[in-house]
């Protein structure tokens, strides 16, 4: 018999909550998991078979770590690509492929990829510094994004006028026309090396304006079928063009006139898919494992309506985390708690999430509002 | 704020698959888990925060282990009760309570408890050896059960006539009238220290006659509502009489004339509740944690029909486990794999289970038969 998933060692670059939830699924397949993370107290620390504290951006550290695994994946894009390319050359399976991570790491290259592949996206211009920005042809207000290392709202700012340019990033960036969107949505698509693809039903997101983080997510969307199909088609188009192995989260805008524009990509489990753990037949974490191990992809349909609430560290609290209101929210039926094993909280730190499942969409939303009002991460 | 679940250390006696699935849930609550098991390669080894290899029946080992935890639970009944009683005296929380484990450890005392509390059960007689058995007033054929240490079909035999008595156990045992049952069923009930109780919907079991193990389980049952209510009422009656904290699995027979007789109890997560992980709003593992930490109990309703298939080691195979047919069964929608992290297989060893979820009961059963025919644990 060929080597089986249960014989293989999975190396994960990054030991945060995404790695943690991936490991929770990997346990079901007897997978041996190795994790590399620079934080000695990372969320994966106690549940990986082997946890290694070290830099995920350093060539030697990543290379030596990868040598110990049979198949390597990521839970964050900011990793050393050269080491992954070398490992791939030496015959290790690296999924998503290093060339995909390289493309997505750089929002400028990502945007160019959209343009070359006729993927609808907001008009943009690459810039190299303040001078370029001053000479941009895109009119105010617009969005300025650092090409690399931005995440969870970091490295993104709105430029309302010429005076804001003083605060602009000094790093290579891109300017993007402001999209007057009605809703942010996401579709997660999975693709295995056989080329099988399956999309999760489209979800709707609500953002915390202050932190620029997903705060609230509703699955499935209630947009008309044709809009949902269009979004799913775009996700499949991108996964095909990338020839990706693994899952790919595609964040999109629906504009006020019903157009869909792609915002950005994440080639890994993503915050917009957490509700799949309870709300769908297969979770995004299980699906990612199935994809990278070239197994049949799972059933992505929803079991019920679900709403995901991110548990962010409360403003004004910095220290050992406490979860006020936990018992109250647990007394509500269909409420699932996911704490990420982080000892310390700070304002807007992602400390966990809560999924609410209910056959009735309005009830699920109502319960989610209650969870948001009741459960607080304090110190 | 009072101490929270996320601050507490949970000690688990036994590191098998039940402990493993309990830890998979405990991760969601940031619980620190300590596990004691005599097998250095037990299924919990790599996922407990701290795994200790040692005897769970030795007083000193259990006592010293328990001192390190804030709250102690079990995943198997055969543990040192005296050590748990001492820990309880010293203020540790031990759930289920040692007196409950003591009662359930001994099938003779369990049967007497049923009798004293008007719980319907098959007529029985306690016996102390072959002589007693020969003088028994219960007529052939009957069931002979060792009072202690029997599990998964071990310590149970059918006595068809006088010649079988030669093979009888030399240990304290009980003789039980053979029940001409139509179906074996189970109800899992949870009770927290506040006295809140919730039952999972009744499930139907099918046994492997050769191994006397649950092989196949269907949730929910399709017996008439009045039978289901009767079974749930019995489970609540027992949990109340025991004043138990934690979950309690109540295995019962439905006789051909519609009576319900209690077979036996397990004061912990149980094989008859594995399908709750995917098939119900809350899983038996989550519910057990909620109960022992005195949190609100979760919603036990089913999300869909589910069928659980135990993955037993194939006859004639003894060695490093391989899972033949894994890819084929994973290509069926709604199929969930749970491997238990056991390196070696042997005939009838519980190596994992598979849950099949489908909105249509007949389809779920059909898929389960396919899984049974296709997925084999070989060496």
What residues of A form the annotated binding site? Answer: 107, 145, 176-179, 184, 263-264
| Mean pLDDT calculated for residue range B341-363 | 96
B334·A46 Cβ contact <8 A: no
pLDDT surpassing 70 at residue B230:
yes
Give tens-digit pLDDT for A37-93. 999 999 999 999 999 999 999 999 999 999 999 999 999 999 999 999 999 999 999
- Give chain B's domain count: 3
Q: Are residues A294 and A158 in the same domain?
A: no
Contacts of A190 in chain B (CB under 8 A): none
Say how far apart CA B100 and CA A4 lie, in whole Å: 43
Contacts of B333 in chain A (CB under 8 A): 281, 298-299
Say how far apart CA A81 and CA A61 lie, in whole Å: 12
Say how far apart CA A80 and CA A101 lie, in whole Å: 10
Domain of residue B245, CATH code: 3.30.470.20
Task: Tell me how long chain A is.
Answer: 379
pLDDT surpassing 70 at residue B2:
no
Say how far apart CA B253 and CA A265 lie, in whole Å: 55
> What was the pLDDT predicted at B213?
66
> What was the pLDDT predicted at A2?
58
What residues of A form the annotated binding site for ATP? Answer: 107, 145, 176-179, 184, 263-264
How far apart, in Å, do the first and last CA atoms of chain A sit?
Answer: 53
pLDDT surpassing 60 at residue B1:
no
Give tens-digit pLDDT for B137-163. 888 999 999 999 876 667 888 999 888
A256 Cβ contact list (under 8 Å, min separation 6): A180, A181, A182
CB atoms within 10 A of CB A279: 30
Looking at every residue in chain A, the average pLDDT score rounds to: 94
Region of A179 on the Ramachandran plot (φ > 0 left; ψ -120 to 50 alpha; else beta):
beta
pLDDT surpassing 80 at residue B84:
yes
Give tens-digit pLDDT for B244-258. 999 999 999 999 988
In a domain, A356, yes or no: yes
For B64, the domain range is 5-94
| Mean pLDDT calculated for residue range A291-303 | 97
In a domain, A135, yes or no: yes
Residue in A5, A281, A323 closest to B333 by CB: A281
Q: Are residues B140 and B62 in the same domain?
A: no
Say how far apart CA B373 and CA B379 lie, in whole Å: 17
pLDDT surpassing 60 at residue A361:
yes
Say how far apart CA A104 and CA A228 lie, in whole Å: 24
Looking at every residue in chain B, the average pLDDT score rounds to: 94
**What is the percentage of chain B residues whose pLDDT exceeds 70?**
97
Domain of residue B48, CATH code: 3.40.50.20
Interface of B with A in 280-319 (CB under 8 A): 281, 290, 295-296, 298-299, 303-304
B89 phi/psi in degrees, rounded to 5: -60, -35
In a domain, A108, yes or no: no
Domain endpoint, select from B77, B94, B111:
B94
Residue B114 in tokens: 């049923």
Say how far apart CA A241 and CA A249 lie, in whole Å: 14
A295·B339 Cβ contact <8 A: no
DSSP per residue, B200-216: PPPEEEEEETTTTEEEE
B92 annotated among ligand-binding-site residues: no
Domain endpoint, select from A177, A199, A217:
A177
A156 phi/psi in degrees, rounded to 5: -130, 130
Instruction: Please state the separation of Cα B177 from the chain's center in Å.
Output: 23
Tokens 């029909």 sit on residue: B305
In a domain, A352, yes or no: yes
Give tens-digit pLDDT for A339-348. 999 999 999 9
- Of B164, B110, B172, which is closest to residue B142 (Cα–Cα)? B164
Residue A372 in tokens: 């948001």
Rounded to the nearest 10°, the torsion over CA A326, A331, A334, A337 is 20
Best B5, B28, B280 residue to mutate vs chain A (most A CBs within 10 Å): B28
A8 touches chain B (CB under 8 A): no
Domain endpoint, select from A115, A142, A177:
A177
B263 annotated among ligand-binding-site residues: yes
> What was the pLDDT predicted at B29?
96
Contacts of A333 in chain B (CB under 8 A): 281, 298-299
Q: Are residues B230 and B372 in the same domain?
A: yes
A330·B20 Cβ contact <8 A: no
Q: Which residues pair with B187 in a beta bridge?
A: B250
Q: Are residues B137 and B226 in the same domain?
A: no
- Of B277, B190, B303, B291, which is closest to residue A357 (Cα–Cα)? B303
Q: Are residues A242 and A257 in the same domain?
A: yes
CB B378, CB B320: distance < 8 Å = no
Determine the Cα angle at A58 with ends A55 and A59, to 5°: 140
Q: Are residues A155 and A22 in the same domain?
A: no
Best A17, A18, A29 residue to mutate vs chain B (most B CBs within 10 Å): A29
Residue A331 in tokens: 């007394």
Give tens-digit pLDDT for A164-175. 888 888 889 999
pLDDT surpassing 50 at residue A329:
yes
Q: Are residues B146 and B73 in the same domain?
A: no
Q: Are residues A36 and A74 in the same domain?
A: yes
DSSP per residue, A9-74: EEEEE--SHHHHHHHHHHGGGT-EEEEEES-TT-TTTTTSSEEEES-SS-HHHHHHHHHT-SEEEE
Say how far apart CA B246 and CA B268 lie, in whole Å: 7
> What was the pLDDT predicted at B139?
87
Domain of residue B172, CATH code: 3.30.1490.20
Min mean pLDDT across A153-157, B55-59, B315-319, B335-339 is at A153-157
> What was the pLDDT predicted at A376?
97
In a domain, A101, yes or no: no
DSSP per residue, A177-208: EPP-EEEEEEEEEEE-TT--EEEPPPEEEEEE
In this predicted complex, what is the ipTM? 0.94
> What was the pLDDT predicted at A129?
79
Say how far apart CA B153 and CA B350 lie, in whole Å: 12
The secondary structure of chain B in percent helix, strand, coil, rounded to multiples of 5, reads 30, 30, 40
- The alpha-helical segments, DSSP class H, found in chain B are 17-26, 59-67, 81-89, 98-105, 107-116, 130-134, 225-242, 276-279, 284-292, 326-330, 361-374
B330·A357 Cβ contact <8 A: no
CB A324, CB A376: distance < 8 Å = yes
CB atoms within 10 A of CB B324: 14
| Mean pLDDT calculated for residue range B304-321 | 96
Say how far apart CA B7 and CA B3 lie, in whole Å: 6
Local confidence band at A1 (pLDDT 50, 70, 90 cut-offs)? very low
3-state class (DSSP) for residue B99: helix
Say how far apart CA A25 and CA A7 lie, in whole Å: 16
B304·A303 Cβ contact <8 A: yes
In a domain, B352, yes or no: yes
Q: Are residues B40 and B148 in the same domain?
A: no
B212 annotated among ligand-binding-site residues: no
In a domain, B329, yes or no: yes
Tokens 């009957």 sit on residue: B142
Give tens-digit pLDDT for A114-139. 999 999 999 999 998 788 888 888 88
Strands A260-266 and A246-255: antiparallel
Give tens-digit pLDDT for A309-318. 999 999 999 9
- The alpha-helical segments, DSSP class H, found in chain A are 17-26, 59-67, 81-89, 98-105, 107-116, 130-134, 225-242, 276-279, 284-292, 326-330, 361-374
- Of B22, B9, B14, which is closest to residue B70 (Cα–Cα)? B9
Q: Are residues B202 and B303 in the same domain?
A: yes
CB A288, CB A73: distance < 8 Å = yes
CB atoms within 10 A of CB A340: 22
Looking at the complex, report in whole angstroms how far the Cα of residue B211 sits from the nearest Cα belonging to chain A.
Answer: 24
In a domain, A195, yes or no: yes
| Mean pLDDT calculated for residue range B1-9 | 76
Q: Are residues B330 and B268 in the same domain?
A: yes
Highest mean pLDDT among A145-159, A202-216, A247-261: A247-261
Q: Are residues A170 and A189 in the same domain?
A: no
B330·A296 Cβ contact <8 A: yes
């Amino acid at each position: 018999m060929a080597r089986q998933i249960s014989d293989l060692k999975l190396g994960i670059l990054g030991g945060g909550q995404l790695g943690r939830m991936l490991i929770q699924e990997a346990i079901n397949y007897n997978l041996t998991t190795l994790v590399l993370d620079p934080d000695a107290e990372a969320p994966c620390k106690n549940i990986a078979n082997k946890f290694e504290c070290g830099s995920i951006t350093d060539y030697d550290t990543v290379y030596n770590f990868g040598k110990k695994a049979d198949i390597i994946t990521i839970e964050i894009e900011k990793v050393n690509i050269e080491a992954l390319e070398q490992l791939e050359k030496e015959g290790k399976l690296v999924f998503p492929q290093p060339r995909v991570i390289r493309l997505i790491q750089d929002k400028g290259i990502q945007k160019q990829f959209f343009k070359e592949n006729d993927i609808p996206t907001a008009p943009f211009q690459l810039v190299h510094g303040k001078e370029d920005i001053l000479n941009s042809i895109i009119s105010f207000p617009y969005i300025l994004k650092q090409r690399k290392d931005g995440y969870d709202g970091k490295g993104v700012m709105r430029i309302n006028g010429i005076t804001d340019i003083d605060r602009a990033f000094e790093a290579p960036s891109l300017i993007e026309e402001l999209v007057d969107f009605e809703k942010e949505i996401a579709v997660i698509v999975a693709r295995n090396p056989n080329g099988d693809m399956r999309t999760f039903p489209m979800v709707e997101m609500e953002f915390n304006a202050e932190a620029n983080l997903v705060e609230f997510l509703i699955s499935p969307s209630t947009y008309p079928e044709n809009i949902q199909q269009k979004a799913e088609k775009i996700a499949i188009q991108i996964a095909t063009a990338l020839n990706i192995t693994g899952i790919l989260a595609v964040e999109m805008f629906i504009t006020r006139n019903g157009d869909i524009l792609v915002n950005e990509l994440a080639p890994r489990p993503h915050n917009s898919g957490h509700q799949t753990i309870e709300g769908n037949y297969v979770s995004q974490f299980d699906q990612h494992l199935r994809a990278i191990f070239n197994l049949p992809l799972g059933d992505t349909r929803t079991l019920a309506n679900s709403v995901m609430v991110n548990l962010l560290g409360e403003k004004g609290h910095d220290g050992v985390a406490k979860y006020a209101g936990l018992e109250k929210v647990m007394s509500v039926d269909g409420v699932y708690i996911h704490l990420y094993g982080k000892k310390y909280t700070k304002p807007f730190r992602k400390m966990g999430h809560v999924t609410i499942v209910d056959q009735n969409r309005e009830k699920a939303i109502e319960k989610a509002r209650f969870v948001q009002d009741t459960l607080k991460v304090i110190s």
